[in-house]
Amino acid sequence: MSLLVTGSIGIDTVETPFGKRDDVIGGSAVYFSYAASFFTPVRLVGAVGEDAPKELFDVFGEQEVDTSGLEVRKGSKTFRWHGSYVQDLNEAVSIQTDLNILAEAAPKIPEKFIDSKFVFLANPHPALQQQMAANLKKPRLIVADTMNLWINTARPELLKTLKMIHGLVLNDGEARLLTEKKNLIEAARDVLKLGPKFVVIKKGEHGCLMCSGNDVFVLPAYPADRVVDPTGAGDSFAGGFMGYIAEKDEFDAETLKTAMAYGIVAASFNVEGFGVERVQEITRDDIEKRMSEYRKMLSF
């Protein structure tokens, strides 16, 4: 089924214990789209500036990512981020962030995309998330992510967004900031009171948990002994998660659980290389092979 994503598209400079890369294509929508495209065709909506490198348009190769919702805006500059994981592979230190085009008007959803049934609103401002959601014709499932910046500076708008969406995917720090609860299961339950039917909390190297109604699921991360660059791991997780849901055209509890596992597997490939380097090398078969290993690991 059709899966639409909107979020940042950026030019990143990343430092990790494995080296430094300048000007790699990144951003939540890119990582998400790549991971999701192993499961279902993806419709990407985003905006970049005149400075966008031409590699951006080739980044998805043969993957089914429809980039016709990618606006190249004259006079604007692409979002840029420079971060370092040299001290701690689990937490980036932001050295420089230039919001640039992310602080401007939202990109438009192309007419041919408004019938999208599955929708992921990565990390735009919550007011833009609402606009996007309102512009769609009968979406079946809207899932959003958010970030500390919006929790801190746009909480009332974010709370409105939470009433419009079906699912929220966010990391542990964000969940704690949003709910002021330290215990993540309590935090997850508090999120459900704010609107969403389900919430997935990403815990980085510790995996993730989901609350849906009274059900709580937890899954460990796939054991990785070589994390080269964690940038985009959470977005790849969301891509695998939503990609599988859209492929199945279903979102009952069992599907959500399996989707979480696919998200974990997608993220596990993502961190094995800088940017999308590693996911560019793999196929759905590689994902299925690792999924079998992961399943086996968790059966006893």
Q: Among residues 86 and 95, whose Cβ is nearest to its own copies?
A: 86
Instruction: Assess 190 for contact with its own copies (CB under 8 A).
Output: no
Instruction: Assess 55 for contact with its own copies (CB under 8 A).
Output: no
Given its phi and psi angles, is residue 106 left (phi above 0), alpha (psi -120 to 50 degrees) or beta? beta
User: How near is the Cβ of 201 to its own copies at its closest, in Å?
Assistant: 11
Q: Which residues contact 115 (CB under 8 A, 6 or more apart)?
A: 2, 136, 137, 138
How many residues at the interface with its own copies, by CB under 8 A?
A: 31
Measured CA to CA in angstroms, residue 209 lies from 29, 148, 149, 188, 219 at distances of: 22, 19, 23, 9, 6
Instruction: Assess 108 for contact with its own copies (CB under 8 A).
Output: no
H/E element, 288? helix 284-297
User: How near is the Cβ of 205 to its own copies at its closest, in Å?
Assistant: 8
How would DSSP label each residue in 47-93?
A: EEETT--GGGGGTTTTS-EEEEEEEEETT---EEEEEE-SS-TTSPE
User: Tokens 């849901």 belong to which residue?
Assistant: 245
Q: Among residues 74 and 296, whose Cβ is nearest to its own copies?
A: 296
Window 70-99: contact mask with its own copies (x via CB under 8 A): -------------------x----------
Q: Among residues 54 and 193, whose Cβ is nearest to its own copies?
A: 193
- How buried is residue 162: exposed, middle or buried, by Cβ count under 10 Å (0-12/13-18/19+)? buried
Instruction: Assess 300 for contact with its own copies (CB under 8 A).
Output: yes
Q: Which stretch binds its own copies (CB under 8 A): 3-11, 39-47, 153-161, 291-299?
A: 291-299
Which chain residues interact with its own copies by CB under 8 A? Answer: 89, 182-183, 185-186, 189, 203, 206-207, 209, 216-225, 227, 254, 257-258, 260-261, 295, 297-300
